[in-house]
Amino acid sequence: MAHTQIVLRISAFLLLVVRSDASLRGTKTKGEKQGKLLCSAEDVINQFEWDGMYSSPPKKCTNDLNYKVTSCPLEDGKGQHETYGLVLKNKAKTGNNLYPDFNAVTWASNSAGIGDWLDVVCTNATSPDDAVCNILPGTVGLGAGDAYAVAAFDMDQLPPAMYKLVQPTWMNLARESVIPHTYDYVFNKFKDKFSDFKKFKESCVPDQSVFLALEKNGPSQGEPGLKAYTRIVEDYGAQMREVGCATNDDYSAWDGSCRCQSISECDVAVQKFCGTNSSVCDPSPYLCPSDGTSPVGYVRAYLEYFLDALPGFRGTGFGEGADGETHGEDGEPEYIVSPNIPKIEKGVHITKQSVQCSV
């Protein structure tokens, strides 16, 4: 699928070297500032860890604003890196994956978003702790202190047969069969309870009409994600309650009614999708019913439980803008990678400095 790339033409550029002022401060052409070109996940993380980002006064990196994280040609001349990044949540700190282990996907920003993060950090942060604990969480929709590190990964380094990258519009979720692609991850502990797990994976694909209904229910007309979610709860609340959601009205844009905050809680949710037969797991009546039922509520609950598509999720492929929660404006492009990416996967780089958040 297409995704945003920023290409910066310059006559010469220096490759990033950790703690080297010359390469980390950017470059100039004919006396004009050209910003800083970063070509890979490793470059991005080295920049976040560079002590010159946080020196004061003055901050050396303020001379090199507008970081450009772009797909530079690889050294062997074969292809280009595709770099994405995310701010790691505290809930993923002790886990094995970039995103909390109880989610089936990793959410990430594209190269343009990472460049914006670096600009914000350069302009506002006084230390790596300040950047990770206070500055970046607010930029990506987390609370202060809800993060512990920054990660970046080169999508081209991940095994292509295993991972699926999608900009999550409602219809992309349908066209790319994202939900079936998560079955191995979501139902991993319950595979032995399926009569034929392989057949289930191949045959149980939520109908496109479900995603058309979700798209129709917004925020296709520029309304806030929460308003659209509330309408789904009103229309399909019975289905959502059947799998443990929408039991009350205590939810907000970032705190959903389909709560899944740990592996044990997600196991309970999976059991609900397995059905009432304790010896057999069959999610088909919920995700791909054969009796003509439209499973909009079930599918929306599945997305919220296991893909972290909270009520604020807009289904447009973009996050909420600065006023998006009120006016439904688009923010930056967002992406999901399925399955959840292990921290030790090739092409993954994470800031190593110890961060201590006081809140």
Write the pLDDT tens digit of every residue in 186-229. Answer: 999 999 999 999 999 999 999 999 999 998 876 656 777 888 88
Domain check: are 271 and 138 in the same one?
Answer: no
Domain check: are 263 and 121 in the same one?
Answer: no
> Are residues 269 and 260 in contact, defined by beta-carbon separation less than 8 angstroms?
yes
Query: Is residue 315, in this structure, part of any structural domain at all?
Result: yes
What are 53-76's pLDDT values in tens digits? 888 766 767 655 567 766 666 665
Domain check: are 84 and 200 in the same one?
Answer: no
Domain check: are 70 and 93 in the same one?
Answer: yes
What are 319-329's pLDDT values in tens digits? 776 654 556 67
Query: Is residue 151, in this structure, part of any structural domain at all?
Result: yes
> Among 114, 18, 122, 26, which residue's Cα sits nearest to residue 69?
114
Give the CA-trace dihedral at 87, 92, 95, 100, to 10 degrees: -100
Domain check: are 112 and 179 in the same one?
Answer: no
Question: Residue 141: beta bridge partners?
Answer: none
Domain check: are 151 and 225 in the same one?
Answer: no
Domain check: are 217 and 303 in the same one?
Answer: yes
Global confidence as pTM? 0.85
pLDDT at res. 223: 75
What is the amino acid identity at position 97?
N
pLDDT at res. 253: 73
Query: Is residue 243, in this structure, part of any structural domain at all?
Result: yes
Average of per-residue pLDDT across 259-284: 93
| Angle at CA of residue 126, ends 125 and 132, nearest 5° | 50
> How many domains does the structure of the chain reveal?
2
DSSP string, 156-219: GGS-TTT-EEE--BHHHHHHTTHHHHTHHHHTGGGGGGSS-HHHHHHH----HHHHHHHHHTTT
Query: Is residue 60, in this structure, part of any structural domain at all?
Result: yes
Domain check: are 99 and 172 in the same one?
Answer: no
179 vs 183: CA distance, rounded Å: 7
Q: Which of 136-145, 188-197, 241-250, 328-337 shows the highest mean pLDDT? A: 188-197
Task: Please provide the average confidence, as pLDDT, over all residues in the chain.
Answer: 82
Query: Is residue 15, in this structure, part of any structural domain at all?
Result: no
Residue range of the domain that includes 297: 167-334
Domain check: are 28 and 44 in the same one?
Answer: yes
Domain check: are 116 and 189 in the same one?
Answer: no
Query: Is residue 356, in this structure, part of any structural domain at all?
Result: no
Token pair recorded at residue 48: 């976040």
Of 94-103, 127-136, 139-148, 331-340, minimum mean pLDDT range = 139-148
Domain check: are 76 and 192 in the same one?
Answer: no
> Are residues 334 and 106 in contact, defined by beta-carbon separation less than 8 angstroms?
no
Residue 149 has pLDDT above 50, yes or no: yes
